[in-house]
Amino acid sequence: MAANGESWLSCIKCGQKYSISRRKYVCDRCRGLLEVKHTFPENHTEKEFHGVWHYKPLIHPSLEKARIVSRGEGSTALYSHDSVSEFSGISSLRMKHEGENPTGSFKDRGMTVAVSEAIRLGATETVCASTGNTSASAASYSALAGIRSNVLIPTGNVSPSKLSQAIAYGARIIDIPGDFDLAMENVARIAENSQDYYILNSINPWRIEGQKTIFFEIMKELKECRFIALPAGNLGNTSAAGKAIREFREIGIIDNIPEIISVQAEGASPFYNLWAGAMEKLEPVKASTIASAIRIGNPVNWEKAIREIRYTGGKVVRVSDREILDAKRAIDRAGIGCEPASAASVAGLKKLVEEGQIDRNDSAAAVLTGNILKDTASIMEDSARIPMETFMRELTA
């Protein structure tokens, strides 16, 4: 029997246990993904912290507080707005705005935990592949901790605002002539060959521990939430949602189990194919969508994520780029705003309402994963401007 407040790594396939000092995140016996497990202490919160570390006993109970590398991430706002409710067809729709985190996306919640763990293990270099937000976050937290970050960027596939964050925070940028999936394969290659680079992609199970707090906060605030929708790319966040729900249930904080609605873009929907086709294995695809943060064809966390969809009785939905941009416009015009990938959550809920799978009186929360300034190309294409003379003519007409 492990003592209270202990943590270990466990293979999701064969259950093999490993010490948390291990830096490889696949099982030696069966190549299954590893997850963090804890014996939870009596107290589930840490009163002197807010945000992510408020839940320290549920995410890294034994970590010395002095080791924490934090920018005060978490405790983001939960919005409601009549016009977005009307757009989605759900009268009490709530939006959890993760774009309000320090580097502008939910990635900060996982990064504060993973980089704290990197420091605990004495790492001096971090590495990740990224569609943009992971690298922005990894670069910031690595700099804060005084270690170097290396980011593998699929050339031409990352929005300039995200890339400029990584550059500004001092990351070493490594160009990958291809897509995110190729960059991710290269990170796996680095991991096989060297222990010197601490991996900050969501295959690192500490990322998932931090990201659980998005869903802890939603469940705390919305006692009767029936659906939680989120965009799905590499599937770390879908995995985090399920783990958070299971653990809140296990320690008796909730009775009902919210259903996870995992939303993919049509042009990057291998997880939808897996779920809808009841396939045994995920078949990678070549990814193409305007929503660059979910432009991923071979998601590393699919085995965790499908388990969580099934556990919560949830669904995987796919939406077109048009539907994503329509939802983004509704969210933007409400004065809230988000990046394109984030709007997939609202687009997915709207689709399920139209299909009669969600009732307008059901309670639902949509996670807005990233800030409006993260990916502005679609906004600029859309902008109609008027010359000053036209404006004056209107004024004097």
Ligand X SMILES: *Cc1c(COP(=O)(O)O)cnc(C)c1O
**Contact set with ligand X (CB under 6 A):** 105, 107, 133, 202, 231-238, 293-294, 339, 341-342, 369-370
Q: Are strands 259-265 and 315-319 parallel, antiparallel or unpaired?
A: parallel
Q: How far is the CB of 232 from Zn ion (least distance, A)?
A: 24
202 binds, among Zn ion, ligand X, none (CB under 5 to 8 A by kind): ligand X
Angle CA(230)–CA(236)–CA(241) in degrees, nearest 5? 55
Is residue 16 within the footprint of Zn ion (CB under 5 A)? yes
Q: Which is nearer to ligand X, 267 or 370 (CB)?
A: 370
Say which DSSP state 26 is in.
B
User: What's the closest the beta carbon of residue 277 comes to ligand X, in angstroms?
Assistant: 20
Closest distance to ligand X from the beta carbon of 293 (Å): 3
* Residue 27 touches which member of Zn ion, ligand X, none, C-beta under 5-8 Å by kind: Zn ion
- 289 or 342: whose CB is closer to ligand X? 342
The label of the residue with tokens 């935990």 reads 113
Q: Which stretch binds Zn ion (CB under 5 A): 16-24, 73-81, 314-322, 331-339?
A: 16-24
Query: Does residue 26 touch Zn ion according to CB under 5 A?
Result: no
- Could you say which of Zn ion, ligand X, none residue 176 binds, taking C-beta under 5 to 8 angstroms by partner kind? none
Q: Which of 9, 11, 245, 343 binds Zn ion (CB under 5 A)?
A: 11
Pick what 11 binds: ligand X, Zn ion, none; C-beta below 5 to 8 Å, kind-dependent. Zn ion
Q: How far is the CB of 338 from ligand X (least distance, A)?
A: 8
Closest to 15 measured CA to CA, from 5, 29, 1: 29
Whose Cβ is closer to Zn ion: residue 2's or residue 30's? 30
Instruction: Check binding of 254 to Zn ion (CB under 5 A).
Output: no
Are the CB atoms for 315 and 290 separated by under 8 Å?
Answer: no
- Least separation, in Å, of the C-beta of 258 and Zn ion? 29
- From the list ligand X, Zn ion, none, which binds 251 (C-beta under 5 to 8 Å, kind-based)? none
Stated length of the chain: 397
Closest approach, Cβ 259 to ligand X, in A, equals 17
- E strands of 221-363, at which residues? 227-231, 259-265, 315-319
Contact partner, 286, from Zn ion, ligand X, none, Cβ < 5-8 Å per class: none
Nearer to Zn ion, 29 or 393 (CB): 29
- C-alpha–C-alpha distance, residues 342 and 339, integer Å: 6
107 interface partner picked from Zn ion, ligand X, none, CB below 5 to 8 A per type: ligand X
- 29 touches, from Zn ion, ligand X, none (C-beta below 5 to 8 Å by class): Zn ion
Phi and psi at residue 152, in whole multiples of 5°? Answer: -95, 115
Determine the Cα–Cα distance for residues 213 and 299; give it in Å rounded to an integer.
Answer: 22
104 phi, psi to nearest 5 deg: 95, 15
Stretch that binds Zn ion, among 32-40, 145-153, 320-328, 356-364 (CB under 5 A): 32-40
Q: Judged by CB under 5 A, does residue 13 bind Zn ion?
A: yes
Our finding on whether 30 is near Zn ion (CB under 5 A) is: yes
**In terms of CB distance, is 29 or 286 closer to Zn ion?**
29
Q: Which residues is 79 bridged to in the sheet?
A: 95
C-alpha triplet 133, 138, 141: angle, nearest 5°: 125
Q: Does 32 bind Zn ion (CB under 5 A)?
A: yes
Contacts of 244 (CB under 8 A, 6+ apart): 212, 213, 214, 215, 216, 219
Query: CA angle, corner 60, sides to 57 and 61, nearest 5?
Result: 45
Q: Which residue is nearest to ligand X (CB)?
A: 370
* Residue carrying structure tokens 């949602």: 241
Contact 316, 275 (CB under 8 A): yes
Q: Count the site residues for Zn ion by CB under 5 A.
A: 8
Stated as kind and residue range, the H or E segment containing 199 is: strand 197-199
Confirm or reject binding of residue 205 to Zn ion (CB under 5 A): no
**SS3 (DSSP) at 66:** helix
234 binds, among ligand X, Zn ion, none (CB under 5 to 8 A by kind): ligand X
Q: Which residues contact 152 (CB under 8 A, 6 or more apart)?
A: 127, 128, 129, 130, 174, 176, 183, 186, 187
- ∠ CA(387), CA(388), CA(389), 5° rounding? 90
Continuous segment of H or E residues that includes residue 112:
helix 107-120
Nearest approach, Cβ of residue 303 and Zn ion (Å): 11
Give me the residues that bind Zn ion (CB under 5 A), please. Answer: 11, 13-14, 16, 27, 29-30, 32
